Amino acid sequence: MCLKTLEIKFALPSSIKLNQAIGSIMQGVLMERIDHDYATYLHQQNLRPYSQYIFFSKKQNCLIWRISSLNDEAENKILTPLLDLPYSIYLRHKQVNITTLNKEIIYNNTYEKLAQKYFSSIINTDEKAFIDFKFITSTTFKSQGKYIIFPDLHLLITNLLNRWNTYSQTDFLNDKTVYSQLQKHLYVADYKLNMRPFSLEGIRIPAFVGTYTIGIQPNPTAQKIFAMLSEFAMLSGIGIKTAIGMGAVQTQIHF
């Protein structure tokens, strides 16, 4: 089962005023390009087999759109059509055309190879490990009907385990002891977060961005599992509404 990320770069017209609604607009572009029946199927799913987000790169002076597929079907039915995206795209909500500069697959892996990468590595069991989560776009969780505007460790772990177990077609993380082991050995080491609400169709969703560092006690199994999940998080996203641009994260592992 494959894991892929497609990156598309666009020239930024001077007439566009950027805000987080651009993620929802690009979701519309995506839906216009894929098969109608598959789009209907996606709308019926609680968890969707892809994530997408868009941001402006000051260094490259362009918009960068990243779309990740979490299974083979999403690769074939989402990434493949987007690779044929035309040179000019009309954004109906902005009433402007944006120009495609480049399209490139920047991540190409499988669940099996990703697991092997970490479980075949040797970790110093006498040392703690740290993983930095940099939340790039507005992120939030929802529990018991309420928004959770802090990366609660329980919600973060269960969110990633749920996505992995749903799409990986592997069962080695389905064991209930996996969550217990992670909960026992993980802790919040540091954070620097700011509120950044996400507006969607007139609704203001409370959310956050920033950095969040998780420490892992000297336990090789917990360190390997969570390191693997943290790399997976860069494709799956974290929290709710990752299909419309929320929950984008970059991670850095320190063993």
pTM, two decimal places: 0.93
**Each residue of 166-198: b (16+ CB within 10 Å) or e?**
bbbeeeebeeeebbebbeebbeeeeeeeeebbb
User: 101-119 pLDDT, tens per residue?
Assistant: 999 999 999 999 999 999 8
Tokens of 109: 């892996």
Residues 229, 158 contacting (CB under 8 angstroms): no
Q: Which CATH class is domain 2-110?
A: alpha beta
Tokens of 105: 């697959």
Say if residue 172's pLDDT is above 80. no
* pLDDT band (50, 70, 90) for residue 203: confident
* pLDDT band (50, 70, 90) for residue 159: very high
* pLDDT band (50, 70, 90) for residue 125: low
User: 3-49 pLDDT, tens per residue?
Assistant: 999 999 999 877 666 677 788 889 999 999 999 999 999 988 888 99
Same fold, 2-110 and 111-254: yes
User: Which CATH number applies to 111-254?
Assistant: 3.30.70.1900
**Residue ranges per structural domain of the chain:** 2-110, 111-254
